[in-house]
Every structure is written in structure tokens, then in C-alpha cells.
Amino acid sequence: MEREAVLVGIDVGTSKVCALIGEVSRDGSLTIIGKGPVPANGLKKGVVVNIDQTVHSIANAVEQAERLSGWKIDRAFVGVGGQHVESQNSRGAVAVSGHNREVTREDVNRATEVARAVSIPSNRDVLHVLPRGFIVDGQEGVKDPLGMSAIRLEVETHIVTASATAVQNLSKCVQAAGVKIDELVANSLASAEAVLSETEKELGVAVADIGAGTLDLALFADGSPFHTAVLPVGGNNVTNDVAIGLKTSLQVAEELKVRHGTCDLRAVGQDEMISVTVLGEEAGRQVSRHEVCQIIEARMRETFELLRSEMESAGHGMLPAGVVLTGGAAQLAGVAELGREVLQMPVRIAAPSGIGGLVDNLLTPAYSTAVGLLLWGAATLAASEPARYESAPAMGGLGRIRDALRSIFP
């Protein structure tokens, strides 16, 4: 395997920060050579609320990944989450300029610039301008217009924006931890890289990454995203409900949820009991497992109802390939069954796959965003490769001129 590049992805989440170092080979395969998952402090619902604590968490994750891999991290692809992430679709049209009226890379870039010039408030930063498709002289559904003859080129783009201050605070934290940012990537789009197939994206699919504090959502059709959003609900809401319902601590509630919880009430016997340590009580007490699972099911049902209404408001109630659930909270038992019941469409749980190296416990839904950031980085690298080769002949030309000059002036 020829090593092409070493990339870093940092997923800064509500409950954990994970730094991954990956090697991308020339054939595009990814091998994890360093990883640093650490508990996160200083974030609430995916947004930085304490700079010092967040910097500390990121620095810890980076240091752990560096120790494992023997690499020094100086730059990374960083995930952005939080309810402030929003999206809109926009069109841009230009007249094709070149002689022969052939569409060039420059025409595509100009059309994309026109599309991105939609009025975006000054308190928002543009994270992505993703071309969804092109219209060449009225012909819709063109994926790649380069080299086509045309008079007018239109591009339809998906623009993802985020709160400027939230982005600045996140960037500040990453830089304070000694890391430069290659690119900020919306978490849901990163997760999509890790868990969706091209066929699903073509058919129409939603990826819902349910983390501790937020649900990152991206809807795809015809191979590209058309709606990106973040809902302020996640696994922590379930834990909080259990803690309040049973008057116990968050740690105990989390453990109960993970070990005994399910969203499928049919799987729980009415008379099953579990012992719980309760705040202020020495001995602890017995609680009904059914009662615990009722609390969990009610909150997860509400989460899916929010998801459904978000998808409906985006104009797509029904997606042929359904919903792909990932993220830490998607590991809850019975989640897919409940999702199918509430959303009335196919639901599957997905984890990253097809990567090598240090992958033990990385191939779980909780690491989709972190792995996806590396895959996003690898795709970005691959897309910028042609540019490297396109400029080569020009260098050759200069070389020839230099040689010609040398022959005149020895």
C-alpha cells in the first residue's frame, strides 16, 4: 500500500471529543493509526459553553491520538454541531464564457459563486456550498457539465450555514489546543460519509446521528444533500428523564439506560425488577424494569416525532431508502423498531465500516462522525488531486522555454 496522506478528524461532541488519525492510501482506502476518544467537558448540546474546559478536552484527545500513532497533529478536519446549523438551497446562473461555448471549471465556479451570494445574515458563516446538480440550457439533471456545449449554465446548490460566534468559539478552542483547521464540516454530512451508500443517496435517504445532546440530520436525494438541520434532543434527554423519574443520579440513570433500557416495551416483562441506588439511600431499592423502559420509550418516541416533523417541513415525508440511524444514542435497544413505527418508513442502524487499522470499538454508531470526518477529508483530497496534475503540463512548458533559452544563451 502506497501511503498518500495522513489526515486527522476531530469530532467535538457533547459527551465526548474524539481525535482520529488516518492514513489514506492511493487507492482511497483508510487505515486508522491513532485515536483519542475522551469525555468532553465545556460543551452543551454540541456548542462550546466553556472555552478552557473544551480546549482541555480537545488537547487530551489529540495527545492520546498522537501517542498511539507517533504522529504530531498540526491540522485537522473538525465537525460542527449544535442547533445553530441550518441550511438552504439556492440557484445561480451564468452565461458560458469560453470560446466554443464549452463549460469549463471556471464557469462552474462562477455559477457556484452566484448561488452562494444569496442573502446570508452577517451573524452566520457559510460552512458548505455543495452543488446538487446543473441545468445546461434548460436540460435538468446534469451531474457534471464540464466540456458540454452550452450558452447558459445554472447550478443548484445546498448551502449549510452556522452561527458565526459558535463557529468562532469552536475554532478558538481547536487552535488553542495547537491544531489548525483544514475545514469545518457539518456533523451530519460527516456521518453520512461514514454510513450511507451511494445507492441510498441516489434513492433518497435521511441520516440521523443521535448524539448525547443533539440529533444531526441530513436528507439526501439524487445523490446529494438537500436539507441539513440539528435538533436539540439526544441521549442525555433520556438519561435525565430516567434520573428524574427514579429520583436517582445521572450516572446511575445512564447505566440503567445502557444496561437495562429498551424502546421496545413488548420485550419487557411486567414483573422484571432491577436494583437501583437512590440518592440519599444507603441500601438502594428495587424498581420495575418496565417502568424504566416506559420512560425511555416515551422520550425516544418524542424524538422520532420531532424528526418526522422536521422531515415533513423539509418537503420530504417519505424517503425511499428510509432513515439511517447512527450516533451513540442509536445503540439503545429497540430504537430501530420504534423508529419504524413512528416514522412509517424503513429504519436501519448503521456504524462505520470498510476501514482498517486500530478499529476495535470504532466500528460502532458512536464514532460515525469521527470516521466520517476522515472520509470527508480523503474525498476532498481526491477532488483536489486533478488540479495537481492539470498544472503539470504548464510546468513542462516552462521547462521547455527554459531549455530553449539555454540553447540560445549557453
Question: Which CATH number characterizes residue 255's domain?
Answer: 3.30.420.40
pLDDT in tens, 191-219: 999 999 999 999 999 999 999 999 999 99
Q: Name residue 48's amino acid.
A: V
Residues 139 and 245 in one domain: no
* Residue 209 covered by a domain: yes
Establish if 257 belongs to a structural domain: yes
**Is 327 part of any domain?**
yes
| Domain shared by 341 and 225, yes or no | yes
What is the pLDDT, as a whole number, of residue 276? 85
Digit-coded pLDDT (tens) for 40-66: 999 999 999 999 999 999 999 999 999
Statement to judge: residues 158 and 296 lie in one domain: no
| Region of poorest pLDDT, from 23-37, 250-264, 280-294 | 280-294
211 and 96 within one domain:
no
Please tell me whether residues 263 and 329 are part of one structural domain. Answer: yes
CA-CA distance, 307 to 393, in Å (whole number)? 51
Amino acid at 319: L
Are 158 and 201 in the same domain?
no
Return the higher-pLDDT residue of 264 and 409: 264
Residue 398 confidence class, pLDDT cut points 50, 70, 90: very low
402 part of a folded domain? no
pLDDT over 90 percentage in the chain: 79
Same domain? 220 vs 314: yes
**What span, in angstroms and rounded, lies between the C-alpha atoms of 39 and 61?**
9
Same domain, yes or no: 207 and 339:
yes
pLDDT at 188 over 50: yes
Same-domain pairing of 110 and 210:
no
> In this structure, is residue 249 part of a structural domain?
yes
* Same domain (yes/no): 131, 248: no
| 151 within a domain of the structure (yes/no) | yes
- Residue pair 368/189 in contact (Cβ under 8 Å)? The answer is no
Task: Tell me how many domains the chain contains.
Answer: 2
d(CA 371, CA 157): 25
Residue 191: all three cell numbers together: 456521518
Per-residue pLDDT at 385: 63
Extended strands (E) in 166-310: 180-186, 205-210, 215-221, 224-231, 273-276, 285-288
pLDDT of residue 47: 95
Output the pTM of the full model.
0.90
Q: How far apart are CA 188 and CA 191, in angstroms?
A: 5
The CATH number assigned to the domain holding 118 equals 3.30.1490.110
Let me know if residue 404 belongs to a domain. no
Confidence of residue 300 (pLDDT cuts 50, 70, 90): very high
Domain finish residue from 330, 349, 368: 349
pLDDT of residue 401: 40
Is there a single domain that holds both residue 217 and residue 266? yes
Average pLDDT score over residue span 381-389: 61
Q: Where in the sequence is the domain holding 154, given as residue range(s)?
A: 86-162
pLDDT value of position 118: 85
Residue at which a domain ends, from 162, 184, 206: 162
Answer whether 169's CB lies under 8 Å from 51's CB: yes
User: Of the candidates 108, 139, 162, which is a domain's last residue?
Assistant: 162
- Cα 23 → chain centroid: 19
DSSP 6-71: EEEEEEE-SSEEEEEEEEEETTS-EEEEEEEEEE--SEETTEES-HHHHHHHHHHHHHHHHHHH-P
Question: What does the pLDDT look like over 86-121, one tens digit per residue?
Answer: 999 999 999 998 778 899 999 999 999 999 988 889
Residue 211 is assigned to a structural domain of this protein: yes
Same domain for 300 and 216: yes
